[in-house]
A and B are shown apart, each in its own frame.
Chain A
Amino acid sequence: MKKVIVDARGRVTPASSKSHIIHRFFLASAGGRLGINFWYGPKQLEDLEKARTLVERSIDLYFEEETIAQAKAHFKSYLPLNNLITVSVDSPNGHLGAAHRHDPEQFLHISRHEASPGLVCGDIVAGMWEVTLSLHAIVTDYCEYSLQIWQEEEAAQ
């Protein structure tokens, strides 16, 4: 049986770059496995002029004076610009890893016996859990995300 614990949608803008959104939720019963379905989009900034402006601003910040002109001439080598949001998980007993990947859609799970890449196995204990969305970069005018978290019985070994 699948019990949905979090079903959230959100919308963020570039102002939220370099911030975290923490979903803290209570598991009433222990056991089974925790499933996480996370999606965000759009992934890419399609607007070439906006992308160029962002890249040029970044080049001004990060390049040495004498290399700026050349870097700007090659601004296309830094495209496409992407949104990046990563997921990490903390149980009441401690940290259970992160899925630092570029995929805009991720199905993750954790149980005592197995876990998705980046996450570590751990008992699904009762108590307060946290799923953190880390917004490394939001480059589009807005970026929508959805997050579902559920608890279910673990498939037989």
Chain B
Amino acid sequence: MTWIACELHTHTFHSDGRQSLNELALGAKALGFDCIALTDHNTMAGLARKEQIERETGLLIIPGMEWTTFFGHMVIIGVKDYQDWRRVGPGDIHAGLARVHEQGGLAGMAHPFRPGSPMCTGCFWEFEIRDWNEIDYIEVWSTTFAPVKKNNIRAYRLWTDKLNEGFRLAATSGRDWHLQERTDAPLSVTYLRIQEGEAPFTERAIEALSSGRVSVTLGPRLDLEVNVNGEVYQIGDAVKGSDERERLASVKVLADFTSRHEHWHLPEQSFTVSLKSNLGVLSEHAAMPEQLPLHTEISVQGLLWMRAELWGIIQGVRTLIAFTNAIYFD
């Protein structure tokens, strides 16, 4: 399996973006991305030249759209055909989700806490969710310099709450990228860990996101491994249950400071590597990049999930810099 750098929320002039798919693809390539999802508002017309642009730019493109409804914005990716949003009312989102899943696609809540109507109708998620198992992911980091923004901190908390309730759903970033402009603001990357193989790329990307093999960052790519009784589990995996009462796991947190390193800058510093779970903070260590990977032992008693977080200073602000998706415990 390989980690690939993705930007999962983008627009072209086929909706309200100010760029062509070709300009978007070239821009993404120049920023070190391997893949984007095109998520224009309520149309898939922008994908007409997808294969040609993929060949010419070397960038992979996941087809999608942003359901820009009156009651919530929902990014749907990996769908083959347009899905109609216009008849969906605030209590009907599960019918929409079923159609997305029937098509082999995934659905994520886009920027769920961005202020809504009348500033931006539907930007705040108001759909009633009766079964959180149907939500595949939450875009917890929206726009640039995402982790310092209140809406995103709230979305990250929502994700954590749902993990605590026992749901297994992924968390991603999305720039909501509308035009090519120079910016010094830190950019988020969603890394997906993709299976090699003959299957079409979109299918493998969807499988990775659906399995929670996801790591999100402003800089280095964070990774997490758990070893229980000699078995190694990766991000997205579920550690099998066991009868033994006192179980210990050895946990390894890794960070790849070489991935896309020419596209981000972090001052030299001691970072904080934190292991979070449904039981709160499991461990916290200060570490210089050269001190990683970090090894620690924890008890898995009562654990439902665990993730790694990297905290530090970027552009003068102390903030969350990277987080992995969860490893679960049966």
List the interface of chain A (C-beta within 8 A of B).
17-18, 20, 54-55, 58-59, 61-64, 67, 78, 81, 84, 86, 88, 95, 97-102, 115, 117-120, 132, 134, 136-137, 139
Q: In the complex, what residues of A have CB within 8 A of residue B207's CB? A: none
A62 to B120, CA, bound (A): 11
User: In residues 75-126 of chain B, which contact A (Cβ within 8 Å)?
Assistant: 82, 84, 86, 113, 115-119, 121-122, 124
Do B121 and A64 touch across chains, with their CB atoms under 8 A apart?
Answer: no
> B109 to nearest A CB, angstroms?
15
- Contacts A95-B84, A100-B41 given; 20 further ones with Cβ under 8 A? A17-B70, A17-B117, A18-B121, A54-B118, A58-B117, A58-B119, A64-B150, A81-B118, A84-B121, A86-B41, A88-B42, A95-B82, A97-B44, A100-B15, A100-B68, A117-B46, A118-B15, A118-B43, A119-B45, A136-B68
Which residue from A88, A119, A136, A139 sits with its C-beta under 8 Å from B70?
Answer: A136
B189-207 CB mask vs A (1 if < 8 Å, else 0) is 0000000000000000000
Can you list 24 A-B contacts (CB < 8 A)? A17-B70, A17-B117, A18-B117, A18-B121, A55-B119, A59-B115, A62-B115, A62-B124, A64-B154, A81-B119, A98-B15, A99-B15, A100-B15, A100-B42, A101-B16, A102-B16, A117-B13, A118-B15, A118-B43, A120-B43, A120-B44, A120-B45, A120-B48, A139-B118
A119 to B16, CA, bound (A): 13
Most B CB within 10 A of own CB, among A55, A88, A97: A97
B interface, how many residues as a size bin?
A: 20 to 34
> B66 to nearest A CB, angstroms?
9
Given contacts A20-B86, A100-B42, contact A63 B115 (CB under 8 A): yes
Smallest Cβ-Cβ distance to A121: which chain B residue: B48
List the interface of chain B (C-beta within 8 A of A).
12-16, 40-46, 48, 68, 70-71, 82, 84, 86, 113, 115-119, 121-122, 124, 150, 154
Do A101 and B118 touch across chains, with their CB atoms under 8 A apart?
Answer: no
Q: In the complex, what residues of A have CB within 8 A of residue B122's CB? A: 136
Q: In the complex, what residues of A have CB within 8 A of residue B119's CB? A: 55, 58, 78, 81
Do B116 and A62 touch across chains, with their CB atoms under 8 A apart?
Answer: yes
Smallest Cβ-Cβ distance to A70: which chain B residue: B150
Do B40 and A118 touch across chains, with their CB atoms under 8 A apart?
Answer: yes
Do B118 and A98 touch across chains, with their CB atoms under 8 A apart?
Answer: no
Do B118 and A58 touch across chains, with their CB atoms under 8 A apart?
Answer: yes
A147 to B117, CA, bound (A): 25
Smallest Cβ-Cβ distance to A120: which chain B residue: B45
Q: In the complex, what residues of B have CB within 8 A of residue A118's CB? A: 14-15, 40, 43, 45-46
Do A17 and B43 touch across chains, with their CB atoms under 8 A apart?
Answer: no
Smallest Cβ-Cβ distance to A86: which chain B residue: B42
Smallest Cβ-Cβ distance to B121: which chain A residue: A136
Q: In the complex, what residues of B have CB within 8 A of residue A97's CB? A: 14, 43-45, 82
Do A17 and B15 touch across chains, with their CB atoms under 8 A apart?
Answer: no
A137 to B68, CA, bound (A): 12
> A126 to nearest B CB, angstroms?
23
> A28 to nearest B CB, angstroms?
26
Which A-B residue pairs are the 10 nearest by beta carbons? A100-B41, A18-B70, A136-B121, A98-B42, A100-B15, A97-B43, A137-B118, A97-B45, A62-B115, A118-B14
A81 to B14, CA, bound (A): 23
Do B121 and A17 touch across chains, with their CB atoms under 8 A apart?
Answer: yes
Do B118 and A100 touch across chains, with their CB atoms under 8 A apart?
Answer: no
Q: In the complex, what residues of B have CB within 8 A of residue A102's CB? A: 16
Q: In the complex, what residues of B have CB within 8 A of residue A81's CB? A: 118-119
A122 to B229, CA, bound (A): 60
